[in-house]
Amino acid sequence: MNAVILFRVDTTRRMHRYYRMDVPPNLFGEWCLMREWGRIGSTGQTRSLPFPTPQEAEAALHRQRMTKERRGYK
């Protein structure tokens, strides 16, 4: 799976954000949904959520992507 990068830009509200998601394996044999978000051009925050199988991690990525797209990310 390639990384998914979403952007939300609204110049009237001075909003320039990004949201990046990926599903890599970790050192313990689990698959992690890695999320990074923040203002475009800055170092963002990161969070990792482990899953036992890659299918579960991919499903979580899909759910998170749908949520962000409903909020205006493209």
Domain range for residue 38? 4-70
Residue 31's Cβ-count burial label (10 Å; 0-12, 13-18, 19+) is buried
pTM attached to this predicted model? 0.87
The pLDDT tens digits along the chain (74 residues) read 679 999 999 999 999 999 999 999 999 889 999 999 999 999 999 999 999 999 999 999 999 999 999 999 99
Nearest to 34 by CA among 43, 21, 25, 45: 21
The pLDDT score that the predictor gives to residue 48 is 95
DSSP 5-51: EEEEEEGGGTEEEEEEEE--B-TTS-EEEEEEEEETTS--EEEEEEE
The pLDDT score that the predictor gives to residue 30 is 92
Count structural domains, the chain: 1
The pLDDT score that the predictor gives to residue 29 is 87
